[in-house]
Amino acid sequence: MKLVTSLAVCLLGASSLFADSSLLTKAKKSGLEAIPATKTEIMKLIDDKNDPITDAKVELGKKLYFDPRLSKSNLISCNTCHNLALGGADGVPAAIGHGWTANPHHLNSPTVYNSVFFKAQFWDGRSPHLADQAQGPVQAGPEMAAPAPLVEQRINSIPTYVEEFKGAYGKDVKIDFEKITATIATFEKTLVTPSRFDDYLNGNEKALSDEEKKGLNKFIDKGCTSCHNGIALGGTMQPFQVAAQYKFTNVGDFKGDSNGMVKTPTLRNITETAPYFHNGQIWSLNEAVKEMGSVQLGIQISDADAAEIVTFLKALKGTKPEIVYPQLPESTIETEKPSFD
């Protein structure tokens, strides 16, 4: 009897192991990719041989990211809308910028975490990478409203910044708008958040609970990976409203790019980045999952199935890099004063 019981236990264990291995294979075949397990492997993905990531550039980029003097009013920094303490977003439906202006298209601020893995930046995908993307919000009237010459004047009028740029790039560096925003992008590249899901994809089959694995399986079977795939679980341009009309489509006037394509938001740290969708109209993650089923997949996702999927999505909350709020160099009498018009 003991032999039979032991044999049954062994068979059950083997069956469970096979099921885990099958799900892991299924996940990878569905296009899901892990953040690599080592810093060396991550650097291979995010570094640029033409502008290598260095500690000096990252530290300088961090200061610029948090510096509100890059805005016309001296009140708004990159961190205002992409708050690193709030999942890299701002927690409001539409971004608020210069003069307390809401985004004129009622667009929601996407997270900056893991944005280095996005194939396109902005909801309409108009920027191909972070260095280009960083230039937009700084200059945009409803955002930071600072023309490039103003940003250049302020940074070049601060001796400490000038010395830090020389330390990061060499004494002959030209501190222009492109170099300033590219340095911000270098910092943003490091905002990578590996999670237990990555541990699972990297081979640790115990990294996810049985309930999370069940949710992952449901996520794949329902077709969610058709858009939410790759390392970012999003970040690519996809058609929107494929099967039905989004119920809040008339909030704002955003219709996607010229082909009606919309950047798929990342699902990493998704529990921290409500409200959801491009116009920030849904606050419940369960409701967002059900809406996606209707709009994109043409299926009705039940409350029970949505709850299972959300259980998996919670496992995508990653470990954030430790960010120490920087002390910013002081302005000088030559530094252009703030303007509020």
Q: Which residues of the chain have pLDDT under 50?
A: 1-18
* Residue 224 in marked binding region: yes
Please pick, among 33, 41, 59, 143, the residue that the annotation labels catalytic: 143
* Backbone angles phi and psi of 67, in degrees to 5: -85, 115
* Residue 78 in marked binding region: yes
* Residue 129 in marked binding region: no
pTM for the whole structure: 0.92
- Domain range list for the chain: 30-40+193-314, 48-189
The pLDDT of residue 7: 38
The pLDDT of residue 8: 42
* Residue 228 in marked binding region: yes
In the residue annotation, 143 being an active-site residue is answered as yes
* Residue 81 in marked binding region: yes
Q: What is the DSSP letter of 61?
A: H
The pLDDT of residue 19: 60
Query: Distance between CA 1 and CA 11 in Å, rounded?
Result: 15
Which numeric CATH code is attached to 48-189? 1.10.760.10
DSSP 213-242: HHHHHHHHHTTGGGTS-BTTT--SEEESSS
Query: Distance between CA 276 and CA 288 in Å, rounded?
Result: 7
Name the class of domain 30-40+193-314.
Answer: mainly alpha
> HSE (CB half, 13 Å, CA atoms) of 270?
26
